[in-house]
Amino acid sequence: MSVENAPVVDVDEAAIPVEKKMYYRFESNDKKEFRVSELAIQQSETLNRLVEAMGYTSEDVENKPAIAIENIDGKTLKLVFQWCEHHKGEAIPVDDGSVPKIVEIPEFDAKLMDIDNGLLFKLIWAADYLNIVQLLNVSCKKVANMAQGKTPAQLRRVYLLPSDEEDEAAKRAAQEAQDPRAREVEEEFEERKRQGGNSFF
C-alpha cells in the first residue's frame, strides 16, 4: 500500500468509510480533524488507553467533539495516523535489549519518512508522546542511519551537535538566566580584577 493510499481520512476531504468498524475522531492543535479506525489506534498505547477510558459508543464518536491532541499539528498527525492505519493489527514489538537491535525500515515507512528533518523531528516527538513503539523504532532507526559512514566532524553537522565551547556558553547563559545577580557579581569581580584589587570583598 502506498503512503498516499493509507486509509487516514480527513473529514472535510473524504467520504465517511462504509465499514461498520468504529472510527474515532481526533483533532490536531491546528484544528485538522482525522478519523482513525479502532484497530489502528491500538498501535498507540496512549490513544488506546484514552479511548478505552472514554468508553465511547458509535453514536458518541459522531456526536461528541473530536478528541483533541493539543501538542501535535495536523501535518504530523496525518503521518502518524497513516502509519497506524498501515500497520494496524500488527503485533507491538517487545525488546529485552540483550542482543544488538536490528530494525528494518519497511518500504512504506521509508516513503512515509521521506520528509525534511524538521517534520521528522516532530514525527519522532509525536511517536514518543503517543507511545507508538514501532513508529518510534523506525523513526529512530532513520535518524541512526544518518550516522552511517560519517566522521565526527560530519556527525556534528548531521546531528547539530554543539562543540564543548558552545555547550559551556549555553550552560553559562542558562545559569545567568536563572540568577541574573550572578552575572552582575561576575562583572563586578572582573572589573575589580582589572583595577588590580587582590580581594573581592
Partner 1 sequence: MGLPVFSLPQLILQEIIRQLLPGELVCFSLCSRKSYNAVRLLRNKNIKWEFVVSPGTSARISFWFNEGYIKSNLMGADDIFDAPRNCQIIKIKGNSVPYSMDWYHNLRTFWDDEKHGMRAITEYCSELFDNMDVHTLLPDGPSLLWSLNWVTNRQVTPLENIQLSGDTREIGGREFDRFLREVKVTNDLTICWKPPPNFTFTGRLPRCQNINIRKASWLTIDNLLTMDSVVAHIIGSRLRISQINQFLRAWLNGQCAPRLKFLEIRITGVAMANQYLEGIRERAVLEDGILTFYW
Residues that bind partner 1 (CB under 8 A): 96-101, 103, 116-118, 120-121, 124-125, 128, 136-137, 140-141, 143-144, 146-153, 155-164, 167
Of 50 and 140, the one with the shorter C-beta distance to partner 1 is 140
Least distance in angstroms from the C-beta of 141 to partner 1: 5
**CA–CA gap between residue 36 and residue 4 (Å, rounded):** 15
Q: Give the shortest CB-120-to-partner 1 separation in angstroms.
A: 7
CA 147 from chain center: how many Å? 20
- Residue whose CB is less far from partner 1, 15 or 153: 153
Amino acid at 69: I
Where b means 16+ CB within 10 Å and e means fewer, 104-126 reads: ebeebbeebbebeeeebebbbeb
Question: Which lies closer to partner 1 via its Cβ, residue 98 or residue 199?
Answer: 98
Distance of closest approach, residue 27 Cβ to partner 1, in angstroms: 24
Closest C-alpha to 16, from 36, 31, 2: 36
16 neighbors 35 (Cβ within 8 angstroms): yes
Residue closest to 123 by CA, chosen among 187, 77, 71, 173: 77
Q: Torsion angle, CA of 119/78/67/41, rounded to 10 degrees?
A: -110
Residue 14 CB, shortest distance to partner 1, in Å, is 32
Contacts of 42 (CB under 8 A, 6+ apart): 48, 88, 89
Nearer to partner 1, 11 or 144 (CB): 144
Closer to partner 1 by CB, 36 or 124: give it.
Answer: 124
**Closest CB 151 distance from partner 1, rounded Å:** 5
Minimum separation from the CB atom of position 162 to partner 1 (A): 7
Q: Which is nearer to partner 1, 37 or 134 (CB)?
A: 134
Q: Quickly count: other Cβ atoms within 10 Å of residue 192's Cβ.
A: 14
